[in-house]
Each structure stands twice: as C-alpha cells, then as structure tokens.
Amino acid sequence: MKKVVTTALLVSILGMNFIPVLAQETTPKQFKSMVNKNKKVSNDYKFNYINMNWWNNFNDSILNGYIEKAVLHNYDLKMASLSVDEYYQNVKLQFGNELPQLTVAGGGGLAKMPGFTKTSATYGLPILVNYEADIFLKNHDKTKSVKKLYEGSKQDERAAYIAVASAVGTVYFNLITLDKVISLQEEIVNIRQEIYDLFLLRNKEGLTSTADTIKANKSLVAGQTNLIELKKQREQLLNQLCVLIGESPENSDSIVRASIDDVNYEIKIPDEIASEIIVQRPDYKKAELMVEKAGIDVRVAKKEFLPSINLSGLGLFNATELGSLFTTKNMLLGLGGGLILPLFTGGQKIANLRLKKATYERILQNYYKTNLTAIQEVNDSLVAAKLDKEKMLQTLEQYNLEKNDYSYNEKKYDQGVISRLDLIQYKENLLSIEKLVAQQKVECMADSISLYKATGSKPF
C-alpha cells in the first residue's frame, strides 16, 4: 500500500509546473558543417560577398576604405547578419523535434497511512522519455524545409552587402562629381557677375539696352540659385555616405574624397553577357531555394495523412530514505508505445495539402519572374553602360573642340579683334561643356556599378 501511495505522489509531481527539462547543449552531427559556417571567425566572407577585387578597378584607395567601413559598420548589414543567425537557430529548434525528449523531476513528501500513527517520508526521482518515431521522415522533411529558409537568409545577407557597397560607390562618385561641378559653377557665377557688371557699364553709356542688362542679371541669379542647389545636394550626399559607413552625419565635414580627374576608370564593358550569369545573383538563388522549400512543404502535407507513432519510457526511483533511492528494489521501469491516426479533422488536412500546392505554384511563378527580371536588369545595365560611354566620348570630343575654339578666341582677344565680354562668354560655354563631361563620366561609373549589382558582384 505504501508503494502505491508513493507512486501516486511521484506521478502527481510530474504535473507540477516546476518540472525541469534537462537538455544538453550539443550540436547534431548532421549540422556540424552548418555551425562552422555560421560561427565565422573573420569577416572575409563579407568581403567575398562584395568582390573587393572588382572595386580596385577604380584605383581609388579612399573609395575602398569607405566600402570596407560600410561592410564592417553599416547597421543594415549588421541586422542582415543577425537575421541569418535567427534562421539558423530556427533550424536547431526544428531539429529538436527529431530527437527524443528527456524530462526529469525530483521531489519528496510525507504520507500517513490509514490505521497508522507514524508519518513516513518518501523521496522520488521520475524520469520520462518521449520520442516520436519518424519512420516516414515527416519531421526530417520539416527540418529540411526550415533549413531552406536559413539558406535563403544567407542569400538575403549577400544581397544586402552588394546593395550597400553599390550605394557607397554611387554616392561617393556623385560626391566627387559635385565637387567638380560646384567648382565649375562657381567660376560660371563669377563670369556671369563680370558679364552683368559690363552690361551695367555699357547700359550707362547707352551701348546696351536695359532689357539686355536685365537678362544678364537674370542669368546671374539663375547661376547663383543653381550653385546653392548643388551645395545642398552635396551636403545631403555627405550625410548619406556617413550613414552608409556607420558614422554620424555630424562627421560629414571629415569625409575626404579624391578628385574626379584623378579617378582612373578601367572597367571594360563587354559587348554581350551570357544569360547564365543570372544564376549567381542572390535573388535568383533564393528564388530557387524557395521553390525547393515549397516542394518539401507539399511532401510534408501529404505525410500528415500518415499515422504518428509515439514511444514513451518511464524510470521511477522511490524510497523512504535517500540512501536507498537508487537501489534496484526501489526502481520501477516502464516502456510503451502508441499509434495515432486522426480519422476526421473537418477537412483540415486536405485543405492544408491544397494550400501547400497552391503556394508551390505561386512560388514557382515568382521563380520564373525572377529569372526574367534578372535578365532584363543585366541587359538594361549593359545597354546603359555601352551607350552612356559612347555619349561621354562624344561630349569629351565636343569639349576638346570647345577648348581649342576658346584658345583661338584668346588669341583674337589679345589681338583686339574681340571684346572682353565676348571672351568671357566663350569661357562660360567651355565651363558648361566641362560640367557635362564630369556628369557623364560619373554616369558611366554608376552604370558599371549597376552592372556589377545586376550580375551579383561577379566578374562580367
């Protein structure tokens, strides 16, 4: 009778909320390689994402320094890397469903039997083991499905690094272009000020109409307004670059950069690029992984119609004295199993299967769309890079012609053939063409960055 009471007491202990679950922090054998990949010992993999060798084509160590800062300190990239770790932990959580669950409880109590005056102390240590026999590999497939999400998150991480590196390069080149353009615009404003002053003098002498003088003043004001707008854009880009490299915009004054005239643009744009290059893009690889995951989810939904087999074991140690708790005469062992097969679930399993099939078809269509969009982006970037380069070369030729024409007019001015007003107007035309050359040069560099991004940062 005492054994019965003791057993009932210990079984009731299992229902209490303070039952501890002993879980050893071990890594499943099949995920050893995943752990090695997840726990990076260096940042080399991040620089491999963005292909630092490609950025060396610009021969600008300052730009490379900013990209390295962004890789190490950009907060969006830090969040992308942390998101990968979250997905990895989800894989470990799901994998735990493939392993047996071990529960241990300990406790003691006092019992007074009917007809006895003495109160007896009892001690117990029940151990429960529960395991769902995964003979149909349903839980294993669920783990594979979650693992596809983890692999997809790594492609999202890679895409984030490529996007941030591209943004740093684009902002940097726009900055050094604005430096050049602002310098040229300041010269233009000075020239227009001189033109306006000359018109005022000529107007007082009756050599120029008031309408022409007002027109010169309007041109001066327009140039000054344009200069203010350019300076505003530069300040905004400086703030943007600070955020990209993980610094406060308050440090924008400390942003150093090269001159656009010193940037050696050595990226060769190919005549054509094979469409197979899209398979290295992170969005393409993720879309492929999501199709694989959706297929696994359909397989899991089918296996939900199969029965579940559960195995349970109980080891119970109980005694009236702690010293004899683990003796064989105070040990009770039990093993059992059961099969569960729901016969009616209100159509939930059928609906779930149809849902997973529909999801698979939608994800498959998204994969096809990603394929086409990737090809379009590569082609668009390639066409823009080729044609913008041709346009820049034409503008550069126009600039050289304008430069030669200005030199010829300088000689005419020295000879007294043309006036000072005519000469500085020719100078303004030359500066305007030089601004256009600088803007189109940065367009070509931005086009190459777009092509770099469209090809997944790989050589093209």
DSSP string, 359-385: HHHHHHHHHHHHHHHHHHHHHHHHHHH
Quote the pLDDT of residue 124.
74
Asked whether residue 23 is domain-assigned, the answer is no
Quote the pLDDT of residue 125.
75
| φ/ψ (deg, to 5) at 319 | -160, 165
CA distance linking residue 394 with residue 386, whole number of Å: 13
Asked whether residue 79 is domain-assigned, the answer is yes
Quote the pLDDT of residue 459.
76
Give average pLDDT by consecutive 10-residue segment, the chain, 460 residues.
44 40 43 49 86 91 96 96 95 91 77 66 79 89 96 97 97 96 96 93 88 93 97 97 95 92 81 90 96 96 90 76 64 80 86 96 97 95 94 94 94 90 92 94 94 89
Asked whether residue 40 is domain-assigned, the answer is no
Quote the pLDDT of residue 12.
45
Quote the pLDDT of residue 290.
97
CA distance linking residue 356 with residue 354, whole number of Å: 5
Asked whether residue 428 is domain-assigned, the answer is yes
Asked whether residue 404 is domain-assigned, the answer is yes
| Cβ neighbourhood burial of 332 (10 Å; 0-12, 13-18, 19+) | middle
Going by C-beta distance under 8 Å and a sequence separation of 6 or more, which residues neighbour residue 448? Answer: 265, 267, 269, 385
CA distance linking residue 299 with residue 303, whole number of Å: 6
Residue from 342, 441, 423, 341 nearest 385 by CA: 441
Asked whether residue 459 is domain-assigned, the answer is no
CB 217 within 8 A of CB 203: no
CA distance linking residue 196 with residue 206, whole number of Å: 15
Domain count, the chain: 1
Identify the domain containing residue 299 by its residue range.
Answer: 2-15+48-454
| pTM (two decimals) | 0.84
Going by C-beta distance under 8 Å and a sequence separation of 6 or more, which residues neighbour residue 459? Answer: 51, 54
Asked whether residue 278 is domain-assigned, the answer is yes
Quote the pLDDT of residue 282.
96
Quote the pLDDT of residue 95.
92
Q: What CATH number does the domain containing 253 carry?
A: 1.20.1600.10
What DSSP assignment string belongs to 324-345? Answer: GTTSGGGEEEEEEEEEE--S--
Asked whether residue 28 is domain-assigned, the answer is no
The separation between the first and the last C-alpha atoms of the chain, rounded to the nearest angstrom, is 83
